[in-house]
Amino acid sequence: MLTSRRFQLPKLYDVSRGLYRCTLPFHFHVGRLRGKQASASDDSPEGEKEIEFRLHKSKGQHLLVNPRVLDNILREADVRRTDTVLEIGPGTGNLTLKLLEACRRVVAVEIDRRMVAVLLQRVADHGSQQKLTVIQKDALKVEFPQFDIVVANIPYGISSPLIFKLVYGESRFRSATLLLQHEFAKRLLANPGESEYNRLAANVKLVADVTPGFKVSKRDFLPIPKVDSSVVTIRPKAQIPDVNIAEWLAFTRTCFGKKNKTLGATFKQKRKLAEIFRTSMENEMNKECSVDGYRDNQNISDKDDSSEEDTEEPTEDCLPAHAVESEISLFREKIIRVLRSCGFEDKRPSKLSNGNLLHLLELLNDAGVYFRDCRKPQAENHANAML
Ligand SMILES: C[S@@+](CC[C@H](N)C(=O)[O-])C[C@H]1O[C@@H](n2cnc3c(N)ncnc32)[C@H](O)[C@@H]1O
């Protein structure tokens, strides 16, 4: 049954060339797993079926099969007996079984029902089903229940939006220990001035501390992926800067659009300038029109993600139909004056700390320059921010 030459794997593991093979009770799961992607053979003991299904690269289905690495991840995550652990993408449960032994409860969010079936069976065999809640959904679309920490070998394709959802979401948690693609982890860990520093790092570090763990070889996974991985721990900050989050995210999107351009050059681009001019006018109008005034960053959890009606052109009484060229020209001069006043005109965003960027944003806002699209709900402003 075992195909891995490197590791002694429990009975259920049999991953070879992208196929997952295992034995499940006939009545319990096989029916659900049959079909296009699963097959069953009839020569297993009575009451059981050996099933086989293909692992999908598109869903990042590379299973971590080295028990030493699994143990090291648990150690790195500092799991406590009293913790509820959120695991994104439990797959067939290699990490889940270890987590169940170390904590009070595991909430596992898995998109693939075939994986869920195997996971449930393995956890039942392990005798710890009472401690497991499985949510069979897309982790990006589901509202997470309360949890203390995240420990997960996530599908790498959703790293960026998932981290964003965690650090800018509603849930309060102690830490997230994640296995990430090594190159992605390097970008997340980068500091201003380093070549990998980017908008993702700036945005995450505004609200969380990120610490490196250890590197994991691609040979520790089955099927073997093309890239190595790294463990990283993200800890939300107790105190975050007093800034409108939607505004900050839109601002960093502008600054890091071409991260190696100087800020002076970025703010001279005609299209960019026209866009900022428009949002600034709208924000100013909005401030005057709105009873509540400018929405503060307590609204970052706004869950409305409708898009169509919010992207309509603004009505005439909120925005002049045409921005006259000379007005935009004056607007550009205003921005350049602000950049000069703090000595940032020739600076590149990738070399500035978040403290510098926050200072610049404050000066620009004071001068009536705004970045977030006030026609869109906060959630939508956020959803685009890391992509
Ligand atoms: C890299 S595998 C990890 C499996 C397991 N944790 C392990 O270490 O062996 C990623 C898992 O995430 C699941 N997955 C992919 N996209 C997902 C999504 N959007 N939401 C939840 N789970 C997802 C895949 O089906 C797969 O089981």
Beta carbons within 8 Å of 60's beta carbon, 6+ residues apart: 89, 154, 155, 156, 157, 158
Q: Say how many Å lie between the CA of residue 334 and the centre of ligand 1.
A: 49
Give the CA-trace dihedral at 335, 341, 347, 351, to 10 degrees: -110
Comparison of pLDDT for 70 and 312, the residue scoring more: 70
Mean pLDDT of the chain: 82
For residue range 123-174, list pLDDT tens digits in order: 998 899 999 999 999 999 999 999 999 999 999 999 999 999 999 999 999 9
Residues 15 and 44 both lie in one domain: yes
Cα 361 from chain centroid?
Answer: 24
Cis before residue 223, ω within 30 degrees of 0? yes
Candidates 130, 91, 84; CA nearest to 106 is 84
One domain, residues 260 and 340: yes
The amino acid occupying position 10 is P
pLDDT for position 379: 54
Domain span at residue 119?
Answer: 63-236
Residue at a domain's end among 211, 236, 261: 236
On whether both 20 and 77 belong to a single domain, the answer is no
Ligand 1 neighbourhood includes 60 CB (under 6 angstroms): yes
How many other C-beta atoms can be found within 10 angstroms of the C-beta atom of residue 214?
13
- DSSP string of 320-343, one letter each residue: -SS--HHHHHHHHHHHHHHHHHTT
Pocket test for ligand 1, best of 111, 136, 221 (most atoms within 8 A of CB): 111
Note the pLDDT of residue 191. 97
The CATH number of whichever domain residue 205 belongs to comes to 3.40.50.150
Q: What pLDDT, on a 0 to 100 scale, did the predictor assign at position 56?
A: 87
Distances (CA, A) of 382 to 162, 268, 303, 373: 12, 25, 10, 11
Of the two residues 311 and 241, the one the predictor is more confident about is: 241
Closest CA to 91 of 28, 41, 139: 139
Residue 292: per-residue pLDDT: 43
Closest CA to 385 of 251, 193, 184, 232: 251
% pLDDT > 90, the chain: 62
* Atom of ligand 1 at shortest range from CA of 91: 27
- pLDDT at residue 97 is higher than 60: yes
Q: What angle do CA 281, 374, 192 make, to 5 degrees?
A: 95
Q: Is the dihedral of CA 164, 167, 172, 173 positive or negative?
A: positive
Q: Are residues 362 and 342 in the same domain?
A: yes
Residue 144 is predicted with a pLDDT of 97
Domain shared by 298 and 160, yes or no: no
Q: From the CA of 180, how far away is ligand 1's center (Å)?
A: 12
* Same domain, yes or no: 252 and 375: yes
- DSSP letters spanning 15-74: EETTEEEEEEEIIIIIHHH-BTTEEEES-SPTTEEEEEEEPPGGGT--EE--HHHHHHHH
> By mean pLDDT, which of 62-76, 247-261, 318-332 is the weakest?
318-332
Residue 209's pLDDT is: 98
Regarding whether 99 and 139 lie in a shared domain, the answer is yes
Please provide the DSSP assignment of 213-253 as one string: EEEE-GGGEES--SS-EEEEEEEE-SS--SS-HHHHHHHHH
Report the separation in Å between the CA atom of 88 and the middle of ligand 1, taken as the mean of its atom positions: 7
Whole-model pTM: value is 0.83
What is the rounded average pLDDT of the residues 235-259?
94
Query: Does the beta carbon of 93 lie inside 6 Å of ligand 1?
Result: no
Domain endpoint, select from 236, 258, 278: 236
- Confidence check: pLDDT of 344 > 60: yes
Q: Are 25 and 108 part of one and the same domain?
A: no
Q: How many CB atoms lie within 10 A of CB 61?
A: 24
Atom of ligand 1 nearest to the CA of 139: 20
179 lines ligand 1 (CB under 6 A): no
Do 16 and 42 reside in the same domain of the chain? yes
Same domain, 345 and 276: yes
Q: Which of 121, 125, 119 is nearest to 106 (CA)?
A: 119
**For the domain that residue 376 is a member of, what is the CATH number?**
1.10.8.480
Question: Of the candidates 236, 265, 284, which is a domain's last residue?
Answer: 236
CB 251 within 8 A of CB 338: no
The pLDDT of residue 244 is above 80: yes
**Centre of ligand 1 from the C-alpha of residue 380, in Å:** 25
Segment 69-80 shows an average pLDDT of 98
How sure is the predictor about 378, in pLDDT bands with cuts at 50, 70 and 90?
low
Say if residue 69 is in the same domain as residue 12.
Answer: no
The Å distance, Cα 262 to ligand 1 centre, comes to 39
Q: Which of 39-48, 127-136, 197-206, 370-379 shows the lowest per-residue confidence on average (mean pLDDT)?
A: 39-48
Query: Which pLDDT score, from 0 to 100, does residue 16 have?
Result: 59
Domain tally, the chain: 3
Torsion of Cα atoms, 292 then 297 then 301 then 307, to 10°: 70
Region 292-316: mean pLDDT is 34
Least confident of 107-111, 163-167, 204-208, 376-380: 376-380
pLDDT of residue 15: 61
Facing residues of 150 across strands? 86, 176
Residues 12 and 144 both lie in one domain: no
The pLDDT of residue 286 is: 75
Question: Complex ipTM, two decimals?
Answer: 0.99
* For range 96-124, the mean pLDDT: 94
pLDDT band at 323, cuts 50/70/90? low
Mean pLDDT of 42-63: 73
Residue 260 has pLDDT above 70, yes or no: yes
Cβ(220) to ligand 1 under 6 A?
Answer: no
Joined tokens for residue 128: 């710890």
